[in-house]
Amino acid sequence: MKTFEQSEILQNLPKQFFASLVAKVNKVVAEGHDVINLGQGNPDQPTPQHIVEALKRGADQPKFHKYSPFRGHSFLKKAAAEFYQREYGVEVDPDTEVAILFGGKAGLVEIPQCLLNPGDIALVPDPGYPDYWSGVELARAEMTYMPLKEENAFLPDYSELESEKLEKAKVMFLNYPNNPTGAVATKEFFEETISFAKEHDICVVHDFAYGAIGFEGKKPISFLEIEGAKDIGIEIYTLSKTYNMAGWRVGFAVGNPSVIEALNLIQDHMYVSLFSPIQAAAAAALTESQDCVKELVDKYESRRNAFIGALQDIGWDVKAPAGSFFAWLPVPEGYTSVSFADLLLEKAHVAVAPGIGFGEYGDRYVRVGLLTDEDRLVEAANRIKKLDLFK
């Protein structure tokens, strides 16, 4: 049978680093070991029942069995606008400033194709979410990495960027609360970002996937809360983490009307929009009781405290994340992120994500997801203790 050659675009896409991690974990599991898998970012709790019920009601409506409107139902766009007004005090025009997305990932990959031409540059965080790279490659554009260093609270230092790169830069990706570091942004940083973006004519794309998850009573800041943000950028919000709807594939972009129109336009050519009952359920999630969100954040904070405390008790010098459901842990001297992750998997049967999978500046860390019960997180710490790596 003939094998057809893939296009250059497909051949040049970034390799899926974490596919190898999955294979390693599966091999150890197949050997009969009990692996505590902390390497993934898949929420472990079910979708709240009132959201599921909204889906069921929608599925019972024959009108929802037809094609959805190309750019999504107005009721979901209005729900997104109501959500931003209630949660962040941000006024949003549902008609011109909201784009419905097939999950946040889709929007993040589409944006470079909307705004970049070959030779243009996207500024991306290092470490950062690997799918930023995918969208840039699909646009046949280039990337310039913005190092996220612990000494700068894992915020990029714009003074480090080369002027010749900035001349070609058209898009910047940011993500706070941050995956993988768990860092959060300050109002001052976002103000600096807006000034910088205006000076260099750059569109800021703030990935707000973990926007609901902040600890110690500190609610993460929306980029759009800051004056002038909507002039130069957008924010992408997903329901995956806030409402445990990862498999539902629903999110939205909010902000600058010209960018929202570009997103809508590319999606006009790719999709007809989400299944209407999913849109109805998403609207219910955004507008009905938010008690489930508070309960979820409390759960993550309790897990964070138990796990970080257990690691500190064994002598590992780690810091608690300020947001997200990830912890970013420094590897011991003498190890890379891959060799340390391999050691934990093979000797302790604990799976973590090597930081190199998120970029060069991640290689001194591993990422842990707080996505299993507290007792399993504490057990993972106890298994690591037996390796006698920390004094």
DSSP code of 67? P
Q: Which are the contacts of 275, defined by CB distance < 8 A and separation ≥ 6?
A: 64, 68
**pLDDT score, position 21:** 84
**What is the CB neighbour count within 10 angstroms for residue 174?**
24
**pLDDT score, position 374:** 96
How many residues are recorded in the chain? 391
* 3-state class (DSSP) for residue 305: helix
* C-alpha 109 chain-centroid distance: 12
Query: Phi, psi at residue 155, to the nearest 5°?
Result: -110, 140
Pairing verdict, β 169-174 and 121-126: parallel
Rounded CA separation 51/242 (Å): 12
Q: Supply the DSSP string of 343-391, one letter for each residue.
A: HIIIII-EE-EEGGGG-GGGTTEEEEE--S-HHHHHHHHHHHHTT----
- What is the rounded radius of gyration, in angstroms, for the C-alpha atoms of the chain? 21
Going by C-alpha positions, the residue among 216, 34, 206 that lies closest to residue 129 is 206
**What is the CB neighbour count within 10 angstroms for residue 10?**
10
Query: Phi, psi at residue 279, to the nearest 5°?
Result: -65, -40
Sorted by where each starts, the structural domains of the chain and their CATH numbers stand as 8-46+292-385 (3.90.1150.10), 66-287 (3.40.640.10)
Give 10-residue mean pLDDT values along the chain (391 residues): 92 83 90 93 94 97 93 97 98 98 96 96 96 94 97 96 93 98 98 97 98 96 97 97 96 98 96 94 98 97 97 95 97 95 96 95 97 96 93 72
DSSP code of 352? -
Rounded CA separation 214/211 (Å): 8
**pLDDT score, position 123:** 98
Rounded to two decimals, the pTM is 0.96
**pLDDT score, position 80:** 98
